[in-house]
A and B are shown apart, each in its own frame.
Chain A
Amino acid sequence: MLLATVYYRRVRRTSLLSAGILLVLGVLALVEALRLRDDWLGAKLMPAVVGLVLIVLGAAHLVRPAATPEWPDAAGFRRVALIFVVLALYVAVLPYVGFLPATAAFVLVLVRALGAFSWAATIGVTVAIALASHLVFIYWLGMSLT
């Protein structure tokens, strides 16, 4: 019957995906709730409740009409992906190479990718931002990132 509903309403792929995610998470929560060794009024309570709610909501996604998501165009998507990858790389290398070098590199790539400055301005901005953040966070506030 669920399949019939899905077919009949021509549920959008994104709704299916969201429903799927919610259902999986809900089942996961219930499984965890059952696994825990505690009273039902103790640590098991909330995971079970939330699990049930997630499952119900996941099912709800399948039976209501969904709106069209606005996906970005190819160029926009490339930009987002690039920036995110660079960000992830920055975070990954930060503990190993130190704040100043990693940040300098990060800012350099970003300013270059996002802005239309001359090389001189780009380098200037990079140095300024990297030094300023180093001064404030590392030197003044004494954050230690290793």
Chain B
Amino acid sequence: MWRIALTLLLSLTVIVASALTAPVEAQPAYPTRPVEIIVAYAPGGAADVAARLVAAYASKKWGQPVNAVNMPGASGITGTLRAIGARPDGYTLLLDPHSSSAMLFAVESDVPFKMDGKTPIALLTLDPVVYTVKEDSAWKSLKDVAAAARADPKTFRYGIAGVAGIASFSVSQFLYSSGVPIAETNRVVFTGGAPTVTALAGGHVDFAGQQWSESAGLIQGRKIRGLAVVHPTRLPGLADVPTAKEAGFPDLDVVGWQGLAGPPKLPAAVVQKWTALLEEAAKDPAFLEQAAKLNKVFAYKGPDAFWQFQQDELKKYLPLATRMGIRK
């Protein structure tokens, strides 16, 4: 047994020695080593795609790897907490989408971090809501859907991805403004955007209101049809889908978005480096084209504008959440 004790003593010496001889970091220009953007959601989702889009661009421009790192769990809270708790040196950033920000705070009264507990860097992309039905559905316009739902709510089935997700807001807002008795309809909750639109395509639900990036594939594949997009203009690739205003519902304004943020007290130099890069990206046609291919609208807003945007969004969703009874 004493041999083991001796070994432990030896190991302790090894540990202490190694720790003492660890190199000290220098402080040159940013970035000098790989940057991590934490995505608090599963790979392949709307947030993840936005992060990778920007990360690839930044890597190319700066010559340093910028990697999207996924830390899914607890609807985005886990990853967000990790990013906020990291050292504010600019090497750990957070992909900050609507679901970890305004919408989350509208629904949950008990979030383990504060909305101002991050340093906003920029708004990156918008992911407009597209209201969809199955390709061969009898409903040809949003007005048709509204009429049908009012007439027979008990057989009206709509799918949403997560009770506190974007579709909860988008579809509910639509149903409210159409005078549909929501309590009598059938709300089917799925675990993500992809299963929701898939179920729509298979006819297991009749209506959905997910984000562009989640719906585009099936729309282009002609398995589901877009009835309206919540955006000032029609979206590229969806030329025959009217805007909400054109479809007769100008008050619909639920939009998905993804932004970039960092831990609190992030140095201004880091924020500036990023805003400069993103301003350049906003004017780069190749980049914009790539964003469009990934079904995202690149909609850059600087740090202050982004923060203001988040607050506006919260003001928009808070009463909606309370009224719909999904606020906890």
Contacts and interface: CB of A to CB of B under 8 A. Distances in A.
A46 interface: no
14 contacts: A82-B4, A101-B14, A101-B17, A101-B18, A101-B19, A104-B14, A104-B15, A105-B12, A105-B15, A108-B11, A109-B4, A109-B7, A142-B34, A142-B67
B54 to A, nearest CB: 19
A112 B18 contact: no
Give the secondary structure class of B's interface.
Answer: helix
B8 interface: yes
Contact of A108 (B10, B17, B22): B10
B7 A98 contact: no
Interface residues of A, number: 17
Interface of A: 37, 82, 93, 97-98, 100-102, 104-106, 108-109, 112-113, 142, 144
B3 interface: yes
A93 B16 CA distance: 12
Interface size class of B (residues with CB under 8 A): 10 to 19
B185 to A, nearest CB: 15
Contacts of B328: 37
B3 A97 contact: no
Given A97-B15, A97-B18, A98-B19, 10 more contacts: A100-B18, A101-B15, A101-B18, A104-B14, A104-B18, A105-B12, A106-B11, A108-B14, A109-B7, A109-B11
Interface string B7-49: 1101110110111001000000000001010000000000000
Given A108-B10, A142-B34, A102 B4 contact: no
- The 6 A-B residue pairs with the shortest CB-CB distance, nearest first, are A105-B11, A101-B18, A101-B15, A112-B7, A97-B15, A109-B7
B58 to A, nearest CB: 17
A93 B14 CA distance: 13
Contact of B7 (A102, A108, A142, A144): A108
Contact of B18 (A98, A142, A144): A98
Contacts of B67: 142
A113 B18 CA distance: 23
B165 to A, nearest CB: 15
A98 B36 CA distance: 19
Contacts of A142: 34, 67
Nearest to B22: A98
A125 to B, nearest CB: 13
Nearest to A142: B34
B38 to A, nearest CB: 11
A109 B13 CA distance: 13
